[in-house]
Amino acid sequence: MKFTTFSAFVGPSVVMMLLFIAFPLISVFVQSFQVTQPLYEAVEVETCTPGFLTQTCVIETRNQPVLGEDGKIVTETRWVGLQSYANVLELGRAWDAVSAGSWRALMAIDFWKALRFTLSFTLLTLPAVIALGLALAVAINNAGKRLRGPVIFVSLLPFIITPVIGALSINWLFRGDGILTALMERASGQDISMFAQAWTIEVLMMLYRVWHVAPFAAIVFYAGLQTVSSDSLESALIDGASRWQRMKYIVIPHLMPLILFVGMIHLMDSYRVFEEVVGFSSQGHVISLQWLTYDFLQPDQAGNRSISRASASAMLTMVGIVILLIPPLKRSWRDHRKAH
C-alpha cells in the first residue's frame, strides 16, 4: 500500500484521536499540578443605618473578587505540584485511620470510600459477566434455528437500553413501594427497604451491571463458538468426554482470547462506573471514583469549581485502570508470543 493511500485512511483517525483524546488528556494532566483561584482585594465599605435624629455609620473591610476591565473576575494560576493529589487522597487522615486500625474512619474519606466500591464493583461483576455471557452464548448456540433469532433479540434487550434509563428502571422497581418491593413484602410479610443500607444498594448496582453487560459478552462468545473445531468436539465425544469436559478442555481454551478481550473491556468500563450512582441516587451511601471527579467539578456557593482536584482524581482513576489492565495484557502478550 502506498504511503499516500495509507495516510488517507489513517490520517483522519489520528487527527481525531489527537484532538479528542491526547490533547484533553495532556490538559487534564497539567491542570492536576495547578490551582486556579480568583484574586481578592480588601475594600472598605461604609454602611449607615437610617435614623431620625442621628445616623450611625460603620466602616467594614471586606474581601471581594478583583474585576477586570471586561467585568469578569480576575484569576491567577499557581503551580502546586502534587498538592492536589494529596488533597484528593487526604493522606494525613488516611494514615491516622490506618494507624488506629479504624476501617470506618478510612471509609469516611471520600476517595478511599469511592476506591473501595469501585474495586469491589469491578472485580465482583467481572466473573459474573463472563460466566453469564458464556452461558447465554451456549444457550443461543444450542437453540434451534427458528428459536435462535428470537433468543438473540431477547438477550440483547438489556444491552440496548440506555444505561441511565436501565438504572432508573431498576431503581423504581425496588425503591419505596415499587412493584418488586411490594411483591417481596407480600411474600415475606415484612417491611423491606432496599435503599436504606449501603450493601443492598451495592448488590442492586452490581446485579444491574451484570444484567446490562452480559448480553454483549454473550454475542462475542457466540461468534467465537462458531469457529470451534467440530472435529475436536466429535473426537472428545467419541473418547467419552462429558459436556463439562468438552467445555473445559476445548471450548474455553479456544475462547480464551475473546474472554480476555471481554474482560479488558469490562475492566475499563466498570472502573469508570458512573451511571449506576446517578440512576440509583446512591450518593449518600455509595460513590465511585468517576462520580467523585464529577462532584469536584460542581460549583460551590461562590461558583468556584475544584478543577485541580477533579483533574487529579481523573488521573488517579486512569492509573487504576492501567494497573488493572496489566495482568490481562501480559497474558495476551504471552499467548501472542507462543502462537508465533
**Which grid coordinates belong to 56?**
450611625
Residue 3 pLDDT: 76
Delineate the domains of the chain, giving CATH numbers in brackets: 1-31 (no CATH), 103-339 (1.10.3720.10)
**Which grid coordinates belong to 257?**
482470547
Residue 303 pLDDT: 66
**Under a CB-based contact definition with an 8 Å cutoff, are residues 278 and 287 in contact?**
no
Helix (H) or strand (E) holding 60: strand 56-65
**Under a CB-based contact definition with an 8 Å cutoff, are residues 46 and 67 in contact?**
no
pLDDT by 10s per residue, the chain, length 340: 677 887 888 888 888 888 888 898 899 899 899 887 777 777 777 777 776 667 777 777 777 777 777 777 777 788 888 889 998 998 888 888 888 888 888 888 889 999 999 999 999 999 999 999 999 998 888 887 778 788 888 888 888 888 888 888 888 888 877 788 888 888 887 887 778 788 888 998 999 999 999 999 999 999 998 888 888 888 888 888 888 888 888 888 889 989 999 999 999 999 988 988 888 888 888 899 999 999 988 887 666 778 898 999 999 999 999 999 999 888 888 877 877 6
**Which grid coordinates belong to 196?**
436504606
pTM > 0.95: no
Nearest to 201 by CA among 167, 225, 232, 178: 167
